[in-house]
């Protein structure tokens, strides 16, 4: 029976692919869905938005075009990474009315690993032991959770103690600005690295931190000087519009 592995990012996909190749498993199907569901509008025209240079509609269509009623869908999720957790909720909602068997593997159940991409391919064999088939009741519960999150449609979503917490951009703006002020003029990557080290929230990945910083750049809260060197904009006439 055909199994499609679904993971969040290309790093996780590469880890899985290396595991299959090194174990001489020739038939495998992996689709990565970098939906970035933790940030921005997920209620209005979700399928047509482009984020991190990825056209979400094309990625979702790739998945839908790859399955039939007999396809088993196996989601690599996490209880501590918001993107991988939201991916599970989204997939359950997407397939709630279909006959496909849905399975989940929480990579965080293995040594509390944050995300699939943080694993080596040698560790995948241990992670696969945590595979669990979702019951219709569980699929319905996860789907309902997704519906509630979409209804609220907050600006930012984080994962804390197995719960999705709704946040505003402003909840992170001051932390980012204060961190930049302490660093002084620096590269954007240095600021993001510092934010990761300080862990505004452990559930974010590096792309989301980059998005939050870029938003402040677009809103003229942060100036780009040259060669990707940035500094705090201390002028008062700033715009406050992003997505």
Residues 110 and 208 in one domain: no
36: CATH = 3.40.1360.10
Q: Give the total number of structural domains in the chain.
A: 2
- Pick from 123, 121, 94, 95: which is nearest to 111 by CA? 123
pLDDT in tens, 83-95: 999 999 999 999 9
Tokens describing residue 142:
């996860």
Lowest mean pLDDT among 6-15, 217-226, 227-236: 227-236
Global pTM reads 0.89
243 domain-assigned: no
Question: What digits encode the pLDDT tens for the residues 51-98?
Answer: 766 777 888 889 999 999 899 999 999 999 999 999 999 999 999 999
Residue 192 is part of a domain; what is its CATH number?
Answer: 1.10.10
Instruction: Tell whether 239 is covered by a domain.
Output: no
Residue 240 lies inside a defined structural domain of this protein = no
- Strand bridging mode 72-77 / 101-106: parallel
**Where among 156, 182, 214 does a domain terminate?**
156
Residues 102 and 219 in one domain: no
Q: Say whether both 122 and 86 belong to one domain.
A: yes
Please tell me whether residues 92 and 139 are part of one structural domain.
Answer: yes
Nearest alpha carbon to residue 73 among 104, 116, 41, 44: 104
Whether residues 26 and 122 fall in one domain? yes
Rounded Cα–Cα distance for residues 118 and 155 (Å):
27
Side-chain-side CA neighbours of 203 within 13 Å: the count stands at 25
Q: How far apart are CA 128 and CA 106, in angstroms?
A: 9
Q: How far apart are the first and last CA of the chain?
A: 42
Of the residues 104, 121, 156, which one is the last residue of a structural domain?
Answer: 156
Whether residue 102 sits in one domain with residue 215: no
Longest dimension (CA), the chain: 61
Whether 240 has a pLDDT exceeding 80, the answer reads no
Q: Above 90 in pLDDT, residue 154?
A: yes
User: Does 47 reside within a domain?
Assistant: yes
Domain span at 193: 169-232
Q: What is the pLDDT of residues 13-33, one digit of tens each?
A: 999 999 999 999 999 999 999
């Amino acid at each position: 029976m055909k199994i499609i592995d679904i993971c969040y990012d290309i790093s996780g996909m590469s880890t899985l692919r290396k595991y299959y190749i090194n174990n001489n498993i020739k038939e495998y199907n992996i689709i990565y869905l970098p939906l970035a569901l933790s940030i921005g509008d997920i209620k209005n025209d979700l399928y047509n938005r482009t984020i991190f240079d990825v056209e979400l509609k094309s990625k979702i269509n790739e998945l839908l075009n790859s399955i039939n009623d007999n396809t088993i869908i196996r989601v690599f999720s996490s209880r501590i990474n918001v993107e991988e957790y939201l991916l599970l909720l989204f997939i359950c909602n997407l397939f709630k009315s279909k006959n496909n068997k849905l399975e989940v593997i929480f990579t965080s159940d293995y040594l509390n690993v944050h995300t699939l991409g943080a694993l080596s391919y040698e560790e995948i064999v241990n992670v696969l032991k945590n595979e669990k088939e979702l019951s219709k009741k569980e699929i319905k519960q996860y789907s309902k959770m997704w519906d509630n999150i979409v209804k609220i449609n907050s600006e930012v979503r984080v994962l804390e103690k197995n719960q999705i917490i709704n946040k505003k951009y402003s909840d992170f703006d001051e932390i980012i600005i204060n961190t930049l002020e302490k660093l002084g003029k620096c590269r954007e990557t240095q600021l993001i690295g510092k934010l990761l080290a300080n862990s505004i929230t452990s559930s974010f990945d590096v792309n989301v931190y980059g998005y939050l910083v870029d938003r402040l750049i677009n809103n003229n809260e942060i100036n780009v000087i040259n060669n990707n060197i940035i500094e705090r904009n201390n002028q008062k006439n700033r715009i406050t519009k992003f997505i």
